[in-house]
Amino acid sequence: MFDSTAFPITTRWPAQHPDRLQLYSLPTPNGVKVSIMLEEIGLPYEVHLIDIGKNETWTPEFLALNPNGKIPSILDPNGPDGKPLALFESGAILLYLAEKTGKFLSKDPVTRIETLQWVFFQMAAVGPMFGQLGFFHKFAGRAYEDKRPLERYRKESERLLNVLETRLEGRDWIMGDEYSIADIALLGWVRAIPTFYGAGELVGYDKLKNVPAWLARGISRDAVQRGLNIPARPQ
């Protein structure tokens, strides 16, 4: 049987079901990528809330799993060749789970690499830019007298939304008819613009047609609804 105690993180967040994949997360735009994916694929897992408000990602136990000190992270007791696998970076986790289960990533070589292209687009552009927009529009950055950083991230976020608007013209999903990890990677971040960040008007979200329709399709999926609230935020 898998010995979860070999991983320091399980001493702080003990596994009640050590035979299941362990998810360490919080329902942020990055965190929900993995919870949505796990709900979509139906793989048994156990979730542990990591309270970033209490700096729990900077504890020695968490850093032993993820030296970058960010959520989400996973510990899969049934990794490749039956060996346990610890993994961080949400995009890498999506790719791993897709390959592990054969779901939401095409086996066609061209479609597969194009799907990963859009996952990397989210990781490299959408996440960092939208996150900075949120910081300067809603959080501590609001107090900065110099509004040039806000304008920088506002303009870039608006541009990225229009990249998605163009991509989704005539498509239900990022890759066309097939829902994929590209959609899962992007849903939480796009949803955050008009909701969590309250920045829809700032970036012209209401002027878009394809992006809001795509987001509504994604949000209507039962697995997405569940994944958006896993784990429950601390009260």
Reported as a single tens digit per residue, the pLDDT across 31-76 is 999 999 999 999 999 999 999 999 999 999 999 999 999 999 999 9
Q: Is the pLDDT of residue 234 over 90?
A: no
Instruction: Say whether 107-222 and 2-101 share the same fold.
Output: no
Reported as a single tens digit per residue, the pLDDT across 158-213 is 999 999 999 999 999 999 999 999 999 999 999 999 999 999 999 999 999 999 99
Superfamily of domain 2-101, CATH level 4: Glutaredoxin (3.40.30.10)
We find that the CATH architecture of domain 107-222 is Up-down Bundle (1.20)
Helix (H) or strand (E) holding 85: strand 85-88
Calculated CA dihedral for residues 154, 157, 162, 164, nearest 10 degrees: -160
Rounded distance, CA 223 to CA 235, Å?
A: 23
Rounded distance, CA 126 to CA 124, Å?
A: 7
Helix (H) or strand (E) holding 136: helix 127-137
Reported as a single tens digit per residue, the pLDDT across 14-23 is 999 999 999 9
Query: Whole-prediction pTM value?
Result: 0.96
State percent of the chain over pLDDT 90: 96
Instruction: Break the chain into its structural domains and give their ranges.
Output: 2-101, 107-222
List all residues 6 or more positions away from 190 whose beta carbon is below 8 Å from its beta carbon: 126, 161, 164, 211, 215
Q: Is the pLDDT of residue 3 over 80?
A: no
Beta-carbon neighbour count of residue 186 at 10 Å?
Answer: 24
Q: Is the pLDDT of residue 1 over 70?
A: no
Kindly list the strands in the beta sheet with 85-88, ordered across the sheet, starting from the edge strand earlier in the chain.
45-49, 21-25, 73-76, 85-88
Residue type, 99: E
